[in-house]
Chain A
């Protein structure tokens, strides 16, 4: 039961995190009216995941490995692109707000930025959605598993969604300045995890050799254990990444974090005069 729980938790967490942050952001900038569009994107992605998952299971059981890994790698790259765009777009908005207003700023959402947010929510969900459905179908069909395993899987997904909701609820409460800093930083780690994930997928697809281990924390903090699953679901943590995956992770993380952080003063309130 626990193994299934963690499997489903880590599949669902990242999507829940991204959608939770987008929704909280929209509420914070006074654009609740855009929430239904985000919801539409999420529902479309969930529906499409279920449809594709069923179709694949019923027709071919399994995508050819190379195609599967390539698609997952491309989806990750696409998600990194949109996420990075969103990070700096949010920061630009934050700069305009100058961190003085905490809510109800009514930031102008252009058609394009709304589309990008919807696309990001859609991508975040469908990226893990199809795989999750492919994992869930044999589990739900009791193929050698018991009710506890089924329960564990469903509970993992429920907790992931609940975590997304909690992030949303917490996000709308904290002040805008802190919201930008915290969620921006979190999303940079998420995106870096996606970059490393893409490298792993393209490596498995055979585009280049991706072997060895930069470090090995399998015995200390396994990525399928309790904390490891959460970190893997959120930030793409791997307990034994290959050197190439680690390099890719850092090559994204360090410069983007730097660019994000050096601009932070612009997000701050003007220094409070004592």
Chain B
């Protein structure tokens, strides 16, 4: 129950005055008399029990007090919020995105929402409570837990995952949980548009707990760097999302050595962007930018990038079979078809796939050759055998049928054979040569084909020292050697973060920054960056939608109950009157 007009609390003065009046009321005068024989007899009919006696003696006081307090209470405008959970199932959806870390005076929005959740849970002890965290993969923290203590402990353990909330997924997830029996769903986030609830859910009551506060935010919107012959060139775009001009320091540093390269002042006008560029920086593997400014949201004040940016494009020779192109598309690369000249120019920044063996001699980046354009294939028969190369750790090609093979390169290492003929070879530079056209095999029919393509692309990419850029919690397979000790992740300060058994189960850490992945002897850097959407703070209000019990869907209903109390009040006055009439005025 809540109170509407708390201002009327001043009327509590009246019952207090009555209380004081009774405090100063005449007490019982003690008189010793010969015998109480006759008085006792006259009192006997009214003497029941000490409690009732007290009640009887002070009946008028209690009645007056009750009437006045009731009156004050009615003036406060009590109402019952119209929300009740049918079936009692409560689902808490907790936004764990980075923007939940915004907040004034050290108390983040996340901490506030945690407190709000606890309050809710304490109020619903004994009812089943499910907690769902947001993210690309919404997760259930506790499921239909009725033990309040366990739920509170789980809430305490919740932490921000920095990942974008992907609220629509969490909503769908919660809907599927609540599809049977209905539920009261509480969403703890910073902002959620009402449009998310366009479709009407029966039996689900949504309550959205928004941030409510306007916060000052200055963010590094974009941070980029490129190597030039004159040194590294970096650009920092700073966005001011507040109503006042902001000034601060911007620092560029090399996170590996910890050396500060640039320390500069900046000023951003209210609501505007500022673009700062820095030239002729020393060559470094990674760069970190940080702005030191007084705002309410810290995670977006730093950004880190790796200068060896990841290869994410593949250029496929137009003469190759369409399936090859499809396979490269399937492993998540941006694929373009190119002519011989285009292939050559793209060699530095892309994975080149061709049958033109001349490319093996040109450029300085390895390529993938499928088939040969200078020789003709010879029929072949035999069992396909592969060596223990990392290329085949996940792609088992032993049941692939190959009808014909091109002649092999003599200086190259053979890693797969058909019978005793080389099938797949690798150059010293790292080029991967498949000595058959796709049409000559049934390989595309096997699931090992795209896996092999992915492995090959990863291997070409892994010639760089980085694993690339990730967003928090991003699940992306990386090529690992497959050693027993797996893939270990450390921070730049060599603090252990986690270990993955193999590269395919790699999940990026949650906290933004630069990390080291150690795979046996090799060590690669990768960066975790906040998603662009997490660099903006959106103010959201709190509201409720829907009703659990098939109601009209009124928002934040108020069930006024003050008038109900008027009847007992009237009754109290009548009783008071009667007591007064029977007993007469006290002295």
Query: Do A and B belong to a common assembly?
Result: no
